[in-house]
Amino acid sequence: MPVPSTLSLYDTATRSVREFTPITPGQVGIYLCGATVQAPPHVGHIRSGVAFDVLLRWLTGQGMDVTFIRNVTDIDDKIIHNAGHEDVPYWVVAMRNERAFNRAYDALGCLPPTYEPRATGHIPEMIAMMQQLIASGFGYAVAGDVYFDVRAFDGYGKLSGQRIDDMLASPDSQAQIKRDARDFAMWKSAKPGEPHWHTPWGPGRPGWHIECSAMAEKYLGPQFDIHGGGLDLIFPHHENEIAQSKAAGNPFANYWVHNAWVTTAGEKMSKSLGNSLLVDEVIKRVRPIELRYYLVGAHYRSMLEYSDESVNEAGQGFRRIEGFLQRGHEFLGTDPQLLTPNPSSRPEAFDAAMNDDLAVPQAFAVLHETVRGGNAALTAKDTGLVTEALSATVAMLDILGLNPWSKSWAQVGRADTDSVIDALVQVALEQRQEARARKDFAASDAIRDGLDAIGIRIEDTPEGARWTLEQ
Ligand SMILES: [Zn+2]
């Protein structure tokens, strides 16, 4: 039996925190606007994937059966432009970058979506929707383009809180052929040599917004629970999705959830900053799990100012948690029960924070309080309290996708190599201990310095020497 959800979410459409009630009890449909695969992702691109992964894990953790759709926009102006520069077909650029996005999602521990539809695989659905919109007076075709008549749809501008007359002209089209400058293109006619698909209005390609309206309906039906994306998508993209889908008779999304940007020097992160912020590059400098810890740690609706230093600073907090897991595990000996997260061992305060519009900063506070208590219990050698704290910590980390013992992190290589490194370091530490026992301090210092040179720091504690790997 699924546990009833008491989650509340900030809904952009009503500008209020609303209790989340799924359309069908126990089931949740989520549509997240995914990548436009024109370039590999930087940290800013991936925040949305990570933020919605926490929502997915929280809902799933409460027994919900979640259908999570995250699309791929594999055709657009910039993809065509970049492919032209390289003198390759558009799909070479799109597929290469789609792989880069998936690599980044995997590296940051994001669970795969239920399905990941590509725009170019759904042209018939888009044509059918446009035909319907033209027939009902919401759309019109001119010179091979198909436009949405924004004045025909009552409520255009509601999501973004704008009046039509205050809006700027939609830039994606030729103003002189439209009924109103704000009318947006659902379909664009192909220029000579451009990739195109055949339609009743001539050869052309999708104009982004229609993709999501068509794919959301195909996979989640005319009405579904949550539509997500970055704040920058509210206008025009989501406003236009709503206009198309509602005009086509679909009630569409019940909740609109938007994550904030990652900024650098106060500006929205953009690829003009160069390659150093690409996820592939960043994870050579910082541990992926620490990057996730940093991204997850800010509330998803708060702007996040990125720097490697701030990730490393946040990483210290994560390493404190890891240190407790390691020491707690050693203290208790192997107990596989503890490695399997047990939801019932999560503190109530943690669940309350997560239910309060996914308040991860407050959830982190509960996590760190638990770790402090666990460390005190270790000092007091209180097996019962250590067990409790360890179990609670693992269960909380699991919800946040930060359990270093989980399969997803083991698959990216960390946990497996850790156990090998640990065995090797233990051999060195035993030799060091023997050297000290025979008062051969030159030898014991040489072992310590040798480990230090490769970044392994030794700390002598009452329980014996322990090691940590410096970044
Ligand atoms: Zn979209």
- pLDDT for 301-312, tens place per residue? 999 999 999 999
Give CA–CA dist 313/460, Å, rounded: 24
Q: Which residues contact residue 143 at a Cβ distance below 8 angstroms, ignoring those fewer than 6 apart?
A: 174, 177, 189
Give CA–CA dist 94/74, Å, rounded: 5
Ligand 1 centroid vs 15 CA: distance in angstroms? 20
Ligand 1 centroid vs 274 CA: distance in angstroms? 26
Ligand 1 centroid vs 4 CA: distance in angstroms? 29
Question: Residues lining ligand 1 (ion), CB within 5 A?
Answer: 33, 212
What does the pLDDT look like over 171-200, one tens digit per residue?
766 778 899 999 999 999 999 999 999 999
CATH of the domain spanning 8-276: 3.40.50.620
Ligand 1 centroid vs 296 CA: distance in angstroms? 23
Ligand 1 centroid vs 71 CA: distance in angstroms? 7
Neighbours of 431 (CB within 10 A): 13
Right CATH for 316-411 from 3.30.2310, 1.20.120, 1.20.1250, 1.10.8:
1.20.120
Sheet holding 267-268, edge to edge: 267-268, 262-264, 304-305
Average pLDDT of adjacent 10-residue blocks, the chain of 471 residues: 69 97 97 97 96 98 96 97 97 98 97 98 98 98 96 96 90 80 95 95 96 98 98 96 98 98 83 81 94 98 94 95 94 75 93 97 98 98 95 96 87 53 82 90 90 84 74 55
The DSSP string of 105-162 is HHHTTPPPPSB--BGGGGHHHHHHHHHHHHHTTSEEEETTEEEE-GGGSTTTTTTTT-
Length of the chain: 471
Give CA–CA dist 90/70, Å, rounded: 21
Q: Which residues contact residue 433 at a Cβ distance below 8 angstroms, ignoring those fewer than 6 apart?
A: 444, 465
The amino acid present at 73, given as its one-letter code, is T
Ligand 1 centroid vs 133 CA: distance in angstroms? 18
Residue with tokens 């370039």: 39
Helix (H) or strand (E) holding 8: strand 8-11
Give CA–CA dist 229/34, Å, rounded: 8
Ligand 1 centroid vs 33 CA: distance in angstroms? 4
69 bridge partner residues: 31, 115
71-105-103 Cα angle (round to 5): 100
**Per-residue pLDDT, 414:** 47
- Asked if residues 67 and 114 have their Cβ atoms less than 8 Å apart, the reply is yes
**What DSSP designation does 23 have?**
S
Helix pair angle (239-247, 123-135), 10° resolution? 70
Ligand 1 centroid vs 101 CA: distance in angstroms? 16
Q: State the pairing for strand pair 184-189/145-148.
A: antiparallel
**What DSSP designation does 277 have?**
G
Domain boundaries, the chain: 8-276, 316-411, 414-469
Ligand 1 centroid vs 238 CA: distance in angstroms? 7
Ligand 1 centroid vs 27 CA: distance in angstroms? 22
Ligand 1 centroid vs 124 CA: distance in angstroms? 17
Ligand 1 centroid vs 59 CA: distance in angstroms? 22
Give CA–CA dist 57/108, Å, rounded: 14
Give CA–CA dist 129/151, Å, rounded: 19
Give CA–CA dist 39/18, Å, rounded: 36
Give CA–CA dist 309/276, Å, rounded: 14
Give CA–CA dist 388/371, Å, rounded: 11
**Per-residue pLDDT, 271:** 63
Terminal Cα-to-Cα distance of the chain (whole angstroms) = 45
- Asked if residues 75 and 204 have their Cβ atoms less than 8 Å apart, the reply is no
The model carries a pTM of: 0.87
Phi/psi at 377 (nearest 5 deg)? -65, -35
Range 163-172 contact pairs with CB under 8 angstroms and sequence separation of 24 or more? 170/236, 172/207
Ligand 1 centroid vs 19 CA: distance in angstroms? 24
